[in-house]
Amino acid sequence: MDDDVESSWKVFESDPACFNELLDALGVKGLIVDDLYSLDSASLAALQPLHALVFLFKWVAGSDEKGGASGEYDQDFTGFFMRQVVNNACATIAVLNGLFNIPGAEVGEQLAQLQEFSTGMDAETRGEIFTSSDWLRTQHNSLIPPSAISLANLGLPKTAEDAYHFVVYLPHLGAVYELDGLKRAPINHGAYPEAGEGWAGKAREVIEHRISTYPPGSIHFNLLAIRGDPLPSLRAQLQAAGDNPMAEVYQEQIRIEEEKRSAWAFENSLRRHNHLGLIHSLLLGLAQASPSAYDKAIENAKAKYKERKEKAKKDGTWEE
């Protein structure tokens, strides 16, 4: 494999299964990453204790200098911040910028050593230290399946693709901050009230304002929550409940959490496998067993693609 390909950071999927695998690999204890489908009060309350929000959005060069036209750069930020100095590392950088600002967050020995080594360095040098770590890059790329074919050196024209970027929102010293590895400094979005929803309510305002800067109907966003792992607390509550009717409630909540983790593990096992060989074998077997069935399958696939394309154009979500 080409050295540049071998040493590169791969595109990271915005899915809690991927992020939780990364947390495990980094030795993080007591925290998980969960989907957040809505920013309403009930959804935020259900994820407490909520420590940070990881936001994925379509990146547009030269726009959104201060996170949705709000906030101010804080050159004197006293927390942890590192800049992104290599392509495709934004997911891991967002996670680390979040983790190292969570009081009492427990991380693995290798990650703790990197943090300690970078103490006192400026944000760009710190980014170089972390992203030059072969170990950290390996953890980031661990869910990327091996390539079965290579298109390198074929002289194929390069096509422009949409760029997506991860940032993290979190509370720090009474204010909501946006930590974006592509920005020169953390962005202070202002103080939040301690009462009510606290920092999460202020973060909702900032994120909704940012989304409003995109065309109506845009769906180029995803939001994940870094929260405390509820399983240890639920198991302790179950043990303490004894014969109390609440024991059934705790058992059901534990079941949901354990099933969620089983689903994450299964999804990640599929991600690690390159299915191209299987697909080729299935199509080859179909073509050999029944050429007419193979031709029909191809025509059905083309028709389905055309149908989806027309529907997307009608809905305004199709991009050439």
Asked if 14 and 209 touch (Cβ cutoff 8 Å), the reply is no
Which residues are paired to 50 by β-bridges? 227
Instruction: Give CA 290 to chain center in angstroms.
Output: 43
Residue 97: closest CA among 131, 58, 133, 138: 131
Q: Tell me how far apart the alpha carbons of residues 201 and 205 are, in angstroms, rounded to a whole number.
A: 7
Active site residue 18: no
Active site residue 90: yes
Q: Tell me how far apart the alpha carbons of residues 131 and 86 are, in angstroms, rounded to a whole number.
A: 7
**Residue among 18, 90, 140, 189 flagged as catalytic:** 90
Asked if 97 and 172 touch (Cβ cutoff 8 Å), the reply is no
Asked if 8 and 260 touch (Cβ cutoff 8 Å), the reply is no
**Residue among 18, 51, 140, 165 flagged as catalytic:** 165
Q: Which residue matches tokens 């696939």? A: 301
Give the catalytic positions in this structure: 90, 165
